[in-house]
A and B are shown apart, each in its own frame.
Chain A
Amino acid sequence: MNIRLVLAMTGLILMLMGLSMLFPAMLCFLSEDSDWPVFGILGMSGMIAGIMLYLREGIREEDVRPKEAYLMVAAAWVTASVYGAAPYLATGVMDGFADAFFESVSGFTTTGATVLSDIEALSQGILLWRAMTHWLGGLGIISLFVALMSFLGQGGQQVFLRETTGPLKEKLAPKVKETAWILWRIYIIMTVAEVLLLHLFGMDWFDAVCHAFSTVATGGFSTKNASVGYYANPGVHWVVIAFMFLGGVNFTLFFHAFQKRSLTVFWKNGEFRLYTVILGAAALIIGVYLWAAGLEFPAALREAAFHAVSVMTTTGFVTQDFNLWAPAVQMILLMMMLVGGSSGSTAGGMKVGRVQLLFTQTRLEMRQSLHTRAVLSAKVDQKPVSHETMLRVLTFIALYGLTVALGTLIMSLFDMDLVSAVTAVVTCVANAGPGLNRVGPTQNFSFVPDLGKYILSFIMLLGRLELYTILVLFTPDFWSKK
């Protein structure tokens, strides 16, 4: 094992995070907030430490083996989470490291679960930092390096593929650097567009930037206690709905649509169709429910669309307390949370693509039982899917279920009722944010004991890196000398 590579990667992450902390420092300085030296010192020291570590170890263009790639990705995320927790402690917003670490992981994994109850009391620097952790983690922390620097060479591809989501990965350009850069450009364009639109509908610049970061990364941190519900303007809601939806779409589709100058690219993609159909059906059901519960028609539709999209893309913004809704509707939300957004998007969950493959395989099994000697092959968008891929996807889905089950068992030991325990784990593994009952939309995770917070943080990382990348580190094979 080449530990040098892992240390160099840690140095790089420290550099990036340190640089990022200078933005809140500047904001605080300009608004004469007393937090500015905290961010300034933390940022500078992180950058210096990072540069020193990186220069000492150095990354040349060299072979990165799968083992090293896994460890590099894991190290990057853990480093970012630990270092990203520092501002919460240093500004005195939180007392314990468990709280700060939970908040930081929740940010980078774009979960959006929080331990804070009064968000509006926080300084602008902290609010911006929270939103920035979302934005940096949305497409993947390492992917930005891959996009900007070519020093990683073939190794860049190794780490990049382990950080992007979904069962079938596609390279948009021959070089992974270009592929990552294309994705980041799409991401940046979307963010800028949302900032402008939100400002147009009456948000001030600061809130617009924070909410845009949070939306396109499908994170969920808001600058308001009532989340997006704070804003009365329906226009704001619709803009957020639209960009949450876009954040849950496979980013490669935007690229293809742009290249071919055609929107049919989207509808020809089976995953996109299923994603849209599930969202449409859920929004309709919830809409009827809210309308029957007494909401006016346009508002009912808007609220329904907002929560369907927010939950399925695992953003976690709310405008209503769905803790008070009927159990059946809550169950629909929970199922959508587990399914999650599309492969290659910023959303979490199992990914629609995997569920689509599960359906495909189920249909094949049915057909096979009717025609015992038939030779069948699974296809996605008319392209055959290999047995190996199918097996990996089905294992993933089973493992996902197992993670939820075991996580719930552990969480129920911490003085939580079953619904709270289940939804806390589901919302963390799917990187969504709010759950039900004690972890519902108007509640927070502060009551969970420290050990519970560490476990939930671990589950968030598991979910963000799609299980295998983390779990493989816990296998004896990984550490054996072979």
Chain B
Amino acid sequence: MQAIVIGAGKMGYSLARLLAKEGYGVTMIERDAERGSVVQDNLDISVLTGNGASIAVLQGAGVDQTDLLIAVTEIDEVNMIACLLAKQVGVGKTVARVRNPEYLEEGESGRELISGIDLIINPELVTAREIAELVGAPEALDVAYYAKGHIQLLELRVNPGHPLIGRDIQDLIYEKPFLIVAIVRQEHVVIPRGTDRILEGDRIFLLAQTEFMPLVEEHLGFKREKAEKVMILGGELSTLYLAKVLEKQKHMSVTIIEKDHEDCVRLSEELDSSLVIMGDATDLDLLRKEGVAETDILVCMTDNDKVNMLACLIAKSLGVKHTISQVRQSDYITLMTTVGIDVGVSPRILTANAILKFIKGSANLLSMTLLSHGGAEMLEFHVAKKSPLVFKKLKDMNFPKGALIGSIMRGEQVLIAKGDEVLMPEDHITVFTVPERIDAVLKLFNGAV
């Protein structure tokens, strides 16, 4: 399979690496010859210098034999044009990164004009949505939804002194069904068995029906908190998206601190109830004056990772309960959590995640989420009529090791998977897996489309 990636920025680079690992023959198109040669040295791909929106360059890259084209240059228009051209010569799947919200607004007749682009990805919007989900469950390190929002997955940290420490998984019983699908222990993902014991410092992945999740959390000794006052530092585009989502929630008060006056004006014009303050994100007095101590969640979204990190630490010392930080340099995420920032969110990982989900998509794969910074994946499948797994009990299935079925949605009914459950045709199931087993799992479900 052949793929073209246009733009050798950070995003293009990680995507090219990812695709090469997935078995694609990758051709990269990059304007800057020097940057191109750096990439050439590091990755097993071919690099072409030129403008990705030029049909001549695209043909030079063999666009007619390509299955997938991803355009992630800094310029929206180049990305869009490249996709449209590629579609014309018959490329199967096209992905464009588009940042400018003006292109994403839907006209009255929908998005027909850019129908040549199969997936439009906006990193700022993706980041904002992810953070908005986290704000909805501040105690969690990660939140994901499945089965049309009926199933919720939370990543929770087992802090010292937590009642769960030392207990066997099989002893945890509650009237509402739930499942601990994985435990992350010292950066290793463990698919737990009944006899596994929860230890201090573990991070657990908890799956339950969304409506019962607060009860389940409470039973297991986690406190469901309600965030009502959120402060966002930095006023970039992603802040605007995030504030727009948060404003829609009742009783939510949002304060934004941004030091550029023009950005402040734009935010205050576009937003409704949010309060926009002009000032420096690391100005202690200002943070105090604007009531950072009573803030439930502080979200650091400035462009600068160092400022984010510093601001989070300052805020923690002033008494903020939860801190979420955007991280540009995704390598910093682990570092951040060790110094006490609760959650790090990387737009790059999220974007790569979304593109990967799209690439791997098939008739049966409904969604795919990278968890624990890529240490595990959650897949959502549609069970085909002819699947060899149909009418089998879960415990009798020869399921790949390192993977397990989390939930089953049958019509409108949602079940948390237990060993005695039987798979039926047309079920929608979620499967938790470590990355090494993902191909085996995909084969199992996609084998009989």
Contact = CB atoms under 8 A, between A and B. Distances in A.
Contacts of B268: 375-377
Among A374, A382, A384, the one with the most B-chain Cβ atoms within 10 Å of its Cβ is A374
Nearest to B268: A377
Interface string A367-381: 100010111110100
Interface of B: 261, 264-265, 267-269, 272, 275-279, 286, 290
B276 A379 contact: no
A460 to B, nearest CB: 38
Contacts of A373: 277-279, 286
8 contacts: A373-B279, A374-B276, A375-B264, A375-B265, A375-B276, A377-B265, A377-B268, A379-B272
Interface in A322-379: 367, 371, 373-377, 379
Nearest to B257: A373
Query: Looking at chain A, what size class is its interface with the partner chain?
Result: 10 to 19
Contacts, number: 29
A371 B275 CA distance: 9
A373 B286 CA distance: 9
A375 B269 CA distance: 10
Contacts of B276: 374-376
A377 B286 CA distance: 21
Contacts of B264: 375
Given A373-B286, A375-B261, A384 B277 contact: no
Among B275, B279, B286, the one with the most A-chain Cβ atoms within 10 Å of its Cβ is B275
A361 to B, nearest CB: 14
Contacts of A379: 269, 272
Given A373-B279, A377-B269, 13 more contacts: A371-B275, A371-B277, A371-B290, A373-B277, A373-B278, A374-B275, A374-B278, A375-B261, A375-B265, A375-B276, A375-B277, A376-B268, A382-B272
Contacts of B290: 371
A325 B108 CA distance: 53
A367 B277 CA distance: 11
Q: Which 7 residue pairs spanning A and B have beta carbons closest together?
A: A375-B264, A384-B269, A377-B268, A377-B269, A375-B276, A375-B278, A375-B268
A375 B275 CA distance: 8
Contacts of A371: 275, 277, 290
Contacts of A374: 275-278
A394 B265 CA distance: 21
A372 to B, nearest CB: 8
Contacts of B286: 373
Among B272, B276, B278, the one with the most A-chain Cβ atoms within 10 Å of its Cβ is B276
Among B269, B275, B279, the one with the most A-chain Cβ atoms within 10 Å of its Cβ is B269
Classify the interface of chain A: helix, strand, loop or mixed. Answer: loop
Contacts of B269: 377, 379, 384
Contacts of A375: 261, 264-265, 267-268, 276-278
Interface string A192-211: 00000000000000000000
A375 B286 CA distance: 14
A256 B275 CA distance: 32
Contacts of A384: 269
Nearest to A374: B277
A367 B268 CA distance: 13
A62 B275 CA distance: 48
B249 to A, nearest CB: 18
A58 to B, nearest CB: 44
Contacts of B279: 373
A367 B265 CA distance: 16
A384 B264 CA distance: 13
Contacts of B272: 379, 382
Nearest to B267: A375
A373 to B, nearest CB: 5
Interface string A173-215: 0000000000000000000000000000000000000000000
A384 B268 CA distance: 9
A384 B261 CA distance: 16
Among B261, B265, B268, the one with the most A-chain Cβ atoms within 10 Å of its Cβ is B268
A98 B138 CA distance: 76
A379 B265 CA distance: 12
Interface in A428-473: none
A13 B286 CA distance: 63
Nearest to A367: B275
A373 B276 CA distance: 9
Contacts of A377: 265, 268-269
A379 B267 CA distance: 12
Nearest to A370: B275
Contacts of B278: 373-375
Nearest to A375: B264
Among A367, A373, A382, the one with the most B-chain Cβ atoms within 10 Å of its Cβ is A373
B174 to A, nearest CB: 45
A386 to B, nearest CB: 10
A280 to B, nearest CB: 25
Contacts of A367: 275
Contacts of B261: 375
Nearest to A383: B269
B255 to A, nearest CB: 8
A191 to B, nearest CB: 34
Contacts of A376: 268, 276
A132 B215 CA distance: 73
Interface in A53-94: none
A379 B272 CA distance: 9
B257 to A, nearest CB: 9
A261 to B, nearest CB: 14
A264 to B, nearest CB: 16
B195 to A, nearest CB: 56
A203 to B, nearest CB: 45
Among B261, B267, B272, B277, the one with the most A-chain Cβ atoms within 10 Å of its Cβ is B277
A382 B272 CA distance: 7
B229 to A, nearest CB: 14
A382 B286 CA distance: 28
A412 to B, nearest CB: 46
Contacts of B267: 375
Contacts of B277: 371, 373-375
A374 B278 CA distance: 6
